[in-house]
Amino acid sequence: MFREQNKKMHRLLERQLRKWLPGYPEIPSEMRDLFCAINESYFHHDNDRLMVENAMRESSDELTVKKGQINQLLDDQTIVINSLKEAVVRLVPETEIGVETDLLCIADILQESITRREVAESMKEQTDQRLLDIIDNLNLGMVEYDVEGRLTDVQNNFASMFGYDVAELEGKTANFFQAGEKRPAEKACLEGFHFSISKEVYEAPLRKKNGETFWLFCTTTPVYDLNGQLTGGVMVVFDITSQKKLESQLRHARRDAEAALEVRKTILANVSHELRTPVNAIVGITSLLSGTTLNDIQKEYIQTMKFSSDGLLVLIDDLLDISRIESGKVELEKISFSLSQILHVLSRSLGLKAEGKGLKFNYHIDEGVSEYLFGDPHRLNQVLTNLISNAIKFTHEGEITVKIELRKNESEVQRLYIGVKDTGIGIATDRLGAVFQEFSQEDSSTTRKYGGTGLGLTISRKIVELMGGSLNVVSEKNVGSEFYFEVDFRKSEAPAIQKENFNPDLAGVRVLVVEDNPVNQFLATSLLKTWNAVVEVCANGVQAIDMLSNVNFDVILMDLQMPLKDGFETTVELREKYHLTTPIIALTANAISGERDQCLQLGMNEYMSKPFQPEVLYRKIQELIHKDQSEMRA
């Protein structure tokens, strides 16, 4: 049918007809119009689909082009936004920029930053003004300058300090302000006053317009621009002229005080020397006489001489102790000792003195106090002796009590309260502080009535301070006084050192005495001969060197102050020129600070001040002889 009409059968319809219509390709006549219409519909559908596909293809191509354009636009916008983000981060580093931050957010951030900067600039202007006001009120001066050191901004106070107007100082350099003779500009930044472009603090003398010189305390700091480039510096100055004048006055006063102290030391040394020479003779002769056969009257005379010489020794030692302590030459010993033994000895010596005045003397030690302590028993004994002696001196009836109380007990250390209480005349309240001053007692009548130099309490307080404590006093007039202090002592297990019996014997020992004073020559010779030593005497260093070149000795006793050649020069020559190794003991009546160290440095082996205890000299001679013999055997 379709072929007859020259109509092409649609492939889909033909496939269905072959499948479902028996006898195809023959089609019943009553169905031809229907199938023809269906066939037309298939072709129309194909045409419509092609038209849609063409339209969609054209639309897709157009959309692809538009999409590419949009993507390019987005890429361009992304670049711009990222650039804006980087710029915002640089401008506002404290702001956090995220991935989702868009143009609107960036605009808000910039607006907020601009607002903050405007507020900050306003506040900066206010702060700058307040700073200038503060600088004005504090009498400070301030200037700004460029990298070449030329003033660019001068504050009024700065100009007025120099007596100039602000306009007169603009463009000036540091050399303009130098005190005294002007120096080249290149030196102005190296010496004295200069406009530094780094942080500096210094003092400098400067010249005012009227020629007057004054002092400024200067502080400089560098200044940078917004790009971090150095543009110059700022200096703030303060007038310290009055302070400098005060420092100068203090230096002069200190020099005067030091000179006065040196004069005092010299006087003390001279007085000590002049006192020690005769006292040495008295002590020595008394010691020699006490070893001879004496009747009762002679013994009484000897005891009186010994008592008087002991009093002189106390005075001399007090004078020297003050000098030594003030010069820092006193060092405390660190040895084991028994506190109860010290008090027992004091009770036997000073207790008898108290009983002689009808006074009771007693002491008490807490049970918890360690039997043996570690410290300086000699200095502690000196303090207690001073305090007890004073108590006895100023007490006419009643008692003297020494108290040792345990205030703190630790595994290795004990803190002790040490007090000396009396029922004496007491001290007026307004004079309590004066009793610790040098050469001072409560009043002048005390010195006339009771005697003394007023040095004992001064020395005692200084010794207690060296021990780490503080000597104090409580007193009531006509009732009594108590001097007390607290000191820490380390516990010790070692027993106290027992004193050996003194049985001197220097048989066969050859001793050369180098001494210009005839009395001291006689004393030393007599003392050494009683110890069976062989003694030779020289009057000065020249004779000593001549004798030592021909005769050998076991030990040399060398005086320091002699005519022609003193002990220092003699020792140096013997050690360095003649290489003599014989032990040398320095004997001097000076006993000034630093002299012992000087003697030992020059080659002497020992040092003793006059007057000396015979057993001490004997012990030193024995030690040096045995040491010398041991070294020779080695």
Position 496 scores a pLDDT of 45
User: pLDDT of 522-569, one tens digit each?
Assistant: 888 888 998 999 999 999 999 999 999 888 999 999 988 888 899 999
- Asked whether the beta carbons of 565 and 542 are under 8 A apart, the reply is yes
Position 633 scores a pLDDT of 53
User: pLDDT of 381-424, one tens digit each?
Assistant: 888 988 998 899 889 999 999 999 999 999 899 999 999 999 99
Residues 444 and 167: their CA atoms lie apart, in Å, by 70
For residue 628, being part of any structural domain is answered with yes
Cα distances (angstroms) measured from residue 597 to each of 96, 269, 547, 591, 608: 74, 16, 27, 11, 12
Residue 330 one-letter amino acid = V
Q: What is the DSSP letter of 582?
A: -
| DSSP symbols for 53-103 | HHHHHHHHHHHHHHHHHHHHHHHHHHHHHHHHHHHHHHH-TTS---TT--H
The full 3-state SS of 136-156, as one line of letters, equals: HHCCEEEEEEECCCCEEEECH
Q: Which residues contact 411 (CB under 8 A, 6 or more apart)?
A: none
Position 325 scores a pLDDT of 66
Most confident of the ranges 41-50, 261-270, 371-380: 371-380
Query: Furthest-apart CA pair in the chain: how many Å?
Result: 192
The arithmetic mean of pLDDT across residues 502-522, rounded, is 86
Position 403 scores a pLDDT of 93
Q: Is the pLDDT of residue 52 over 90?
A: no
Pair of tokens at residue 626:
């045995």
Q: Is the pLDDT of residue 1 over 60?
A: no
The arithmetic mean of pLDDT across residues 104-133, rounded, is 65
Model's pTM, two decimal places? 0.45
User: pLDDT of 251-270, one tens digit each?
Assistant: 888 888 778 767 766 676 66
Residues 304 and 301: their CA atoms lie apart, in Å, by 5
Residues 415 and 407: their CA atoms lie apart, in Å, by 5
Q: Which residues contact 593 (CB under 8 A, 6 or more apart)?
A: 265, 323, 324, 327, 329
Q: Which residue bears the tokens 């303090």?
A: 383
Same domain, residue pair 163 and 215? yes
Element (H, E) at 521: helix 518-530
Same domain, residue pair 588 and 450? no
In residues, how long is the chain? 634
- Asked whether the beta carbons of 295 and 613 are under 8 A apart, the reply is no
Same domain, residue pair 548 and 601? yes
Q: Which residues contact 616 (CB under 8 A, 6 or more apart)?
A: 608
For residue 531, being part of any structural domain is answered with yes
Domain boundary at 28, 53, 74, which? Answer: 74
Residues 351 and 187: their CA atoms lie apart, in Å, by 78
For residue 98, being part of any structural domain is answered with no
Pair of tokens at residue 9:
């059968």
Same domain, residue pair 68 and 185? no
Q: How confident is the model at residue 53 (pLDDT cuts 50, 70, 90)?
A: confident
For residue 124, being part of any structural domain is answered with no
The domain total for the chain is 4
Residues 612 and 245: their CA atoms lie apart, in Å, by 51
Q: Is the pLDDT of residue 500 over 60?
A: no
For residue 368, being part of any structural domain is answered with yes
Q: What is the DSSP letter of 118?
A: H
For residue 118, being part of any structural domain is answered with no
Same domain, residue pair 348 and 484? yes
422 has which bridge partners?
400
Can you state the percent helix, strand and coil of the chain, rounding each to 5?
A: 50, 20, 30
Same domain, residue pair 436 and 576? no
Q: Which residues contact 28 (CB under 8 A, 6 or more apart)?
A: none
The arithmetic mean of pLDDT across residues 566-594, rounded, is 85
Which bin fits 398, alpha (ψ -120 to 50), beta or left (φ > 0)? left
Same domain, residue pair 526 and 634? yes
Same domain, residue pair 520 and 624? yes
Position 293 scores a pLDDT of 79
Q: Which residues contact 408 (CB under 8 A, 6 or more apart)?
A: 414, 415, 488
Residues 87 and 286: their CA atoms lie apart, in Å, by 104
Same domain, residue pair 409 and 544? no
Identify the CATH number of the domain in which residue 290 sits: 3.40.50.2300
Cα distances (angstroms) measured from residue 616 to each of 612, 621, 625: 7, 9, 14
Judged on CB neighbours under 10 Å (0-12, 13-18, 19+), 32 is middle
Q: How confident is the model at residue 272 (pLDDT cuts 50, 70, 90)?
A: low
- Domain span at 276: 247-294+502-634
Identify the CATH number of the domain in which residue 144 sits: 3.30.450.20
Pick the range with the lowest mean pLDDT from 114-128, 202-216, 443-457, 595-609.
Answer: 443-457
Q: What is the mean pLDDT of the chain?
A: 79
Identify the CATH number of the domain in which residue 421 sits: 3.30.565.10
For residue 101, being part of any structural domain is answered with no
The arithmetic mean of pLDDT across residues 330-344, rounded, is 83
Q: Which residues contact 464 (CB under 8 A, 6 or more apart)?
A: 383, 470, 471, 485, 487
Most confident of the ranges 5-19, 74-88, 303-317, 604-618: 604-618
For residue 605, being part of any structural domain is answered with yes
| Number of other CB atoms surrounding residue 528 within 10 Å | 23
Helix axes 595-602, 567-576, angle to 10 degrees: 20
Strand ranges of the sheet holding 555-559, from the earlier edge strand across to the other edge:
534-538, 510-514, 555-559, 584-588, 606-609
Q: Is the pLDDT of residue 180 over 70?
A: no
Same domain, residue pair 233 and 253? no
Domain boundary at 239, 260, 275, which? Answer: 239
Pick the range with the lowest mean pLDDT from 307-311, 388-392, 528-532, 621-625.
Answer: 307-311
Position 130 scores a pLDDT of 63
Same domain, residue pair 215 and 268? no
Q: Which residues contact 149 (CB under 8 A, 6 or more apart)?
A: 173, 174, 188, 189, 194, 195
